[in-house]
Chains A and B, each alone.
Chain A
Amino acid sequence: MNDDRITLGHGSGGRLTHELVETVFKKTLADEMLDTSCDSAIIGPISGHIAMTTDAFVVSPLFFEGGDIGSLAINGTVNDLAVAGAEPRFISASFILEEGLCISDVSRIAASMARAASLAGVHVVAGDTKVVERGHGDGVYITTTGIGKMRDEPPAGIQAVQPGDIVLVSGPVGDHGAVIAAHRNGLEVEGGLTSDCASVATLVDAMYDAGVRPVFMRDPTRGGLATVLAEVASSCGLPVEIYEKDIPVRAGVTAVCDVLGIDPLYLACEGRVVVFTRPEQAATALDALRSRPEGALSTVIGRVMPGGAGPVVLVTRFGGRRLYDILASDPLPRIC
């Protein structure tokens, strides 16, 4: 069946749909909690507060260095739960498939979701499949919904950020955005680029295990690091100062950005977390992040400054200052 392609029949709810669900999704996802004979997944009991989030994934290309739309759909939702202070537990996935898509690609995406879910410690417990006519979709769209158990001491939130708080990031920024931008513009980078697509739940666990209680966390996806910092600066009404020399950016990412005229601080990350902590907890938080292989390149990148509603100020490597705001829009192709 793997040489076959998706037809409208796979979305009819009949025999082909059943076959796709059983032989591809159920078999590949292989989650003991995924009961395809039941209309709803029964989960729990979960005591205390529950976090819930949903996210749609429409990435093109579907497969890229370091991940694919499947791993992205799991990690994206896992990370939204983790940074809100929840322990990710359960995920549902809804697929919109385009007629003509190779079933082997669907299997590959499902296998990637299974791996990502297993690494993040979440169960894929429910799903749905629809098929749209050729030309009405971009291969596969996936929507995932996640449920997590809130920690006893979740982050106080963006409003609790105060002067003196320290900003950390869990690794090089812009890797995912650069991979996608390079793909779309036909750029090849010497030494290659790899998306950072991964769960940050383990990094958050490591910080909590070490006794750190972050004030605020966010995964810098669309709009990148700069947009997250600009949102914090605007919400808490305090300037955030960051230091170019301390912000990790891979050489290949810088190269792609220079060619395309974009700023790596605005490029999406899919496996990083930006953490605001009180100053006395910063060193412990950094050690905890670095204790995990996926956080080995974590750094302190800046701090929250006192006084005056303010933007994000980057102190350049030369000691100059430049300001950042929320990303406005994608730039148009330039004249020179």
Chain B
Amino acid sequence: MRFLDAFRDVESVRRLAAEIASLGPGRSVRLMHVCGTHENALCRWGLRDILPPWLKLIAGPGCPVCVCPAADIDMAVRVAADHGAILATFGDVVRVPARQTLMQAKAAGADIRVVYSISDAISIAASEPSRVVVFFAVGFETTACTTAAALTKATPNNFFVLSSHRVIPTALDALLSIPGPRLDGFLMPGHVMTVTGTKAFRDIAARFNVPMVVGGFEPVDIMLAVKELVLMVKDGRAEVGNAYTRSVRAHGNEVAITAMEKVFEVRDAAWRGIGTIKASGLAIRPELSHKDAMVRFGLQPDDTIPDTEPGCQCGEVLLGRLEPEDCPLFSTVCNTEHPVGPCMVSFEGTCAARYRHGVRR
């Protein structure tokens, strides 16, 4: 507890807020974070209120569940509903809208189980050898490395993986290539960067001339990262800084990176609300095709399924172009009990974070 208290210390946060305010560059500064956990921390501690008015901290595409396209969810539904497999996945995936959500498929009789990790799914396969068990693997590098670690070892013959993993560096590259209002800097996700390291982003920062700083998830962590970002913006330095040194290294977690390279190959992939991004998805390598549910069941994504309901503006929210509370559906017909769009479904979604923290239209 004492360890954590230091990162929630009122005096430290106030001092950092005052220091940031004193750095005013004489113009507005727009920073983006790309992590649902950052959005939750910002809302929980009310940190936006203590930042100076010239500084805007926008939420970007930081929720792996939200960007999971309907076509991928549909393949997961088919695995359980048409092929009779046990489909195991993370809890916030089961309500994500598609032709049918996994929860609706479950209600209609498909065997869909919520697990906390891939190892839970492997345990199910081991204890039910007569059934086929498919782990629907969703998430960025933070969960992709756990899928990779599991597949580098022997798993039960009846265990398969349906990979919908996405990676952050190429997505950020694509995001920066989309024409739109300039972003002055990125608050980088501490969890993902613990795996990838800061090195993976140096080229992007330089090419787009935009500073990036890794932040942890406690109030002091976030304020430290924001301060470093503002300093870089002021000095015109497009570097990758690290304000989360207790977890993030320049080279990342090399064991995790090696495991991912061994298990996955990089492919173009669809992101809900954004479109197809080159080299942004992780597919299982042909050497491991005997573990690939796509191969096992001959699955092909049905790209005709719409990713958003009419009127849903999750795409704009994901790109940081629209605040959730400016969407006409937000808190009127779309809420955490009855989500219309993917950003309201997941705990990590920007709309859900704002709604849960009491923001209303």
Contact = CB atoms under 8 A, between A and B. Distances in A.
Interface residues of A, number: 30
Interface in A309-336: 311-312, 314-325, 328-329, 331-336
Contacts of A306: none
B356 A318 contact: no
Interface in B319-344: 335-337
A251 B4 CA distance: 11
Given A318-B45, A318-B50, A322-B357, A332 B92 contact: yes
B335 A332 contact: no
Contact of A318 (B46, B65, B93, B335): B46
Contacts of B337: 328-329
Contacts of B14: 318-319
A97 B95 CA distance: 36
B64 interface: yes
B347 A321 contact: no
A336 B91 contact: no
A321 B51 CA distance: 12
A254 B139 contact: no
B94 interface: yes
Contacts of A301: none
Describe A's contact surface by its main secondary structure. Answer: loop
Among A317, A323, A336, residue most surrounded by chain B Cβ atoms (within 10 Å)? A336
A59 interface: no
B4 A258 contact: yes
A190 B1 CA distance: 10
B125 to A, nearest CB: 19
A335 B92 contact: yes
A9 interface: no
Contacts of A279: none
A289 B44 CA distance: 30
A311 B336 contact: no
A317 B4 contact: no
B61 to A, nearest CB: 15
A137 interface: no
Contacts of A251: 1
A261 interface: yes
Nearest to A335: B90
A61 to B, nearest CB: 21
**Across the A-B interface, the 10 shortest Cβ-Cβ residue pairs:** A320-B46, A323-B358, A332-B91, A333-B91, A320-B49, A316-B46, A335-B90, A334-B347, A322-B46, A328-B336
Given A318-B219, A322-B358, 8 more contacts: A255-B1, A319-B49, A319-B50, A322-B45, A328-B336, A328-B337, A331-B347, A336-B142
